[in-house]
Amino acid sequence: MSKDMNNDAELKTANNIEEDFGNMLDFDDDDPLSATSVSKKSLVIFFLIDTSGSMKGTKMGELNTVMEELIPEIRRVGEADTDVKVAVLTFSNSVMWMYSEPVSIEDFEWTRLRADGVTSMGEAFRELSIRMSRNSFLSSPSLSFAPVIFLMTDGYPSDDYKAGLEALQKNSWYKFGLKAALGIGKEANDDMLAEFTGTKDTVVHAYSGGQLAQMIKIIAVTSSQIGSKSMTLSDDTNHELSSQDVYAAKQKMLGQQIQDLVKSQDYSDTVPFDTGW
């Protein structure tokens, strides 16, 4: 029931309001408000990508190819009622954003990355922490979902990643964001990646080009589907969930789905990175 308390007698039922909805679709040229646009709910996916020297060759080539293929798939996730935006942060000797702000998936084009230098992951965490703010990358009022943050790396950080992670962990968007990580090759450290995600369930490993392609798609598509899922109503109680409940439920769902999908993949015909492929 609607409650304009200036009209105490007017307690509207859902049926009356459905009628309102029918009427509101009538376009009226004389109504100055009819020209104001309505924004869909939006979600930002952050990709944090290691572009250090060790990624050179097959790993980076494969990653570039997969990311180009991935964009149309993520576009389909957002088609229904969510505006999905993408932000890509690369880290090697320094950190760099692919675009100067999150870009709607409709307009996003992948810029092929090159690999060189060391692994400044701590600096990337600090940079992400600064940008994940209402005053920076997350300024859109329509931002209805906590962000998805996806880290990809093939080795151990060369800087003080713990200090960077500590700064990031204080960021409320990070706390309530969906976090996943992909270790590429045998040098990537799953424990360190789990420190970033907060759980081992959303950390996966790729040991070959085929696996890398499959893992990136699994994580990116699954996390954007779950991230943009409206979980304001719980089926059992018909009451909205709190943000903490939503975060916990989504992160758990992401972990389960990623693990299930990873187990269902067939990697028999792929050649490991670390055998020189």
Partner 1 sequence: MLNGFCHTVIGASHITSGTVCQDSSVFRAYDNYGIAVVADGHGSKKHFRSDKGSEMAVTAALDTVEEFYRDPDAFEESFLNNPENLIKKIEKNIISRWNRLVIHHYTHNPYTEKEKEPFTEKEFKRLKVETVYGTTLIVAVMGRKFTFGTQIGDGSLVLICEDAAAEMPIAYEESAPANLTASMCNSQAINYFNSFYTLDEKPIAVFVSTDGLYTSFKSDEDFLDYHSILASQLINIDAFSPSIRKNLSKRSHCGTQDDTSLACVFDKDYIPEKQEELKEQVEVNKIHASMRKAEQKARMEKQRLKNSMNNARYDEESEL
Minimum CB separation of residue 156 from partner 1 in Å reads: 27
Region label for 13, one of left (φ > 0), alpha (ψ between -120 and 50) or beta (otherwise)? beta
263 binds partner 1 (CB under 8 A): no
User: Could you tell me whether strands 103-104 and 148-153 are parallel, antiparallel, or unpaired per DSSP bridges?
Assistant: unpaired
Binds partner 1 (CB under 8 A): choice among 94, 232, 256, 265: 232
Minimum CB separation of residue 158 from partner 1 in Å reads: 25
**H helix runs in 25-143, sequence order:** 58-78, 121-131
The separation between CA 251 and the C-alpha centre of its own chain, rounded to angstroms, equals 12
Residue window 144-173: x/- pattern of binding to partner 1, with contact defined by CB under 8 A: xxx-------------------------xx
Binds partner 1 (CB under 8 A): choice among 2, 94, 199, 265: 2
| Residue 57: both structure tokens together | 């060759």
Minimum CB separation of residue 216 from partner 1 in Å reads: 19
Minimum CB separation of residue 121 from partner 1 in Å reads: 23
- Binding segment toward partner 1, per CB under 8 A, in 107-115, 179-187, 206-214, 249-257: 107-115
Binds partner 1 (CB under 8 A): choice among 233, 248, 267, 274: 233
Bridge partners (DSSP) listed for residue 50? 91
Closest among 91, 94, 186, 173 to 140, alpha carbons compared: 173
Q: How far apart are CA 212 and CA 66, in angstroms?
A: 8
Binds partner 1 (CB under 8 A): choice among 141, 268, 269, 275: 141
Q: Identify which of residues 143 and 193 has a Cβ nearer to partner 1 in the complex.
A: 143
Which residue in the block uniquely carries the two structure tokens 């690999």? 115
264 binds partner 1 (CB under 8 A): no
Amino acid at position 151, single letter: L
265 binds partner 1 (CB under 8 A): no
Residue window 54-83: x/- pattern of binding to partner 1, with contact defined by CB under 8 A: -------x--x-------------------
Q: How far apart are CA 210 and CA 213, in angstroms?
A: 5
Q: How far apart are CA 274 and CA 54, in angstroms?
A: 11
Q: How far apart are CA 204 and CA 185, in angstroms?
A: 11
* Residues 193-226: b if buried by 16+ CB within 10 A, e if exposed: bbebbeeebbbbbbbbbbbbbbbbbbbbbbbbbb
| Residue 243: both structure tokens together | 């943000």
Binds partner 1 (CB under 8 A): choice among 73, 245, 260, 274: 245
97 binds partner 1 (CB under 8 A): no
38 binds partner 1 (CB under 8 A): yes
Minimum CB separation of residue 189 from partner 1 in Å reads: 29
- Residues at the contact surface with partner 1, assessed by CB under 8 A: 1-6, 12, 14, 17-18, 20-21, 23-25, 28, 31-34, 36-41, 61, 64, 99-100, 103, 107, 109-112, 114, 133-135, 138-146, 172-173, 176, 230, 232-234, 236-243, 245-246
